Amino acid sequence: MYDFDVIVIGAGPAGYEVASLLGKGGKNVCVIEKNEQRVGGTCLNEGCVPAKNFLETSSYIAKANYFKNCGVTTNSNTLNIEALQSSTNVLIDDLKTAIHNKLNKAKVTTKYGIASFIDPHTVEVDNETKETISAKNIVIASGSSHRDHPLLKLEGDTIISSREVFELKEIPNSLLIIGGGAIGCEFASFYNALGTEVEIAEFTPNLVPAEDSDIAKALKREFEKKGMKVYLNANVSDYTLLDDGVKVQIDLPKKSEEKSYEKVLVSIGRVPNSDSLGLDTVGIENDRGFIEVNENLQTTKYPHIYAIGDVIKSPALAHVAYYEAKRVAQMILEEEVMSDEYIWPAVTFSTPQIGSIGKGEKELKEAGITFKNKK
């Protein structure tokens, strides 16, 4: 006899969605989140929601001069960063309340603590005191965290990640962004609009490496028109903390450059939150922390254990997590299951924005798929 029908580990988009769907479907569900502040996951607390609120705000400042030329009078085109942070926190709290209401309405039990496997049907919840609970099915939706730089260590409000960037009390005069992926390019656009001297150091030959090279080149041109400097094939090999910032050495293919910045933002991708799950205890297979699943999102060894969201190798996007959550809920509820053949849209909210859907040119070539390229 199990304590619950389903245990869900993680209360981000994948976790709270599958938990609420299963609860509404009549299952006795328990969702486990590390702590109450993390409900909503990366998307709500340090990703999609705060980032888009920041970006939308900065877009109006960037357009202020245009509005003035059109005869619109404004008192100021400066930003009160603390007021923006306050409004963002209100938005996050409102959405977090909505998630709690959604789970409560579905009669989902919520527990807080670090979850780890004891056996294939049993999980320990560690939150000062330890509690053991069991379920017929378990869904791992533990999400991801920012990837640490191999050299630079986070340092107060000087060397920061995409988590601390929302907590800065002042707009920096200069900023180096290490990593030119979607997150790095979005923050580059935000701070550039506010007048910060922005530079980007990207390790690969292109910005937004997930996109086709012609799109990446177009974005680089637009960034440079806006006064940003972009280093490609760039490796940060050394740094020194200063009283007023950081001195950084950037190694390029033919030279090295050394420059000081007020702030450095490390944005080099995400890693799955799986270290504390005790995967080895029960033999759940993973690749560098990403849990291996089949086409039905079941772990390779245990068909009753599922994994969804950022903790597997699917695109780390909230709408992907929602879709996977719906599929798993349908399987557990023994309903008709949506197809695993899907084409994902994706947007980088830089300035200019980038939109894509489905596989890019590089992916199609690697898969041996015949296609036509029209421009």
Of 32, 2, 35, 34, nearest to 18 (Cα)? Answer: 32
Q: Give the rounded distance of the alpha carbon of 258 from its chain centre.
A: 30
166: exposed, middle or buried (Cβ count in 10 Å: 0-12, 13-18, 19+): buried
Question: Which DSSP category does 250 fall into?
Answer: E
Quick one: which of 223, 215, 259, 260 has its CA closest to 355? Answer: 215
Look at the domain 159-268 and name its fold. Answer: FAD/NAD(P)-binding domain (3.50.50)
User: Does residue 104 surpass a pLDDT of 80?
Assistant: yes
SS3 label, residue 4: strand
Domain spans of the chain, in order of start: 4-146+271-342, 159-268
CA 3 vs CA 122, 123, 134, 275, 304: distances in Å = 9, 11, 5, 25, 15
The number of beta carbons lying within 10 Å of the beta carbon of residue 281 is: 13
What's the sign of the alpha-carbon dihedral 7, 13, 18, 24?
Answer: positive
**CATH classification code of 4-146+271-342:** 3.50.50.60
Residues 6+ away with beta carbon under 8 Å from 278: 116, 117, 118, 124
Residue 128: the pLDDT is: 87
- Whether the predicted model's global pTM rises above the 0.85 cut: yes
pLDDT in tens, 5-39: 999 999 999 999 999 999 999 999 999 999 999 99
Look at residue 69 and tell me whether its pLDDT is greater than 90.
no
The whole-number pLDDT of residue 206 equals 97
Are the beta carbons of 329 and 139 closer than 8 angstroms? Answer: no
Does pLDDT of 108 surpass 90? Answer: yes
Model confidence at 258: pLDDT above 80: yes
The answer to whether 4-146+271-342 and 159-268 have equal CATH topology is: yes
Q: Mean per-residue pLDDT for 34-61? A: 94
| Residue 243 to residue 204: CA distance in whole angstroms | 31
Residue 210: both structure tokens together = 């997930």
Report whether pLDDT(76) > 70.
no
Q: What's at 343, amino acid-wise? A: I
pLDDT, residue 68, reads 80
Confidence label for 75 from pLDDT (cuts 50, 70 and 90): low
Please check the confidence at residue 230 and state whether its pLDDT lies above 70: yes
Mean pLDDT over all residues of the chain? 95
Look at phi and psi of residue 239 and say left if phi exceeds 0, alpha if psi is from -120 to 50, else beta: beta
DSSP string, 304-372: TEEE-GGGSSS---HHHHHHHHHHHHHHHTT-PPPPS----EEEE-SSS-EEEES--HHHHHHHT----
On the question of pLDDT at 74 being above 80, the answer is: no
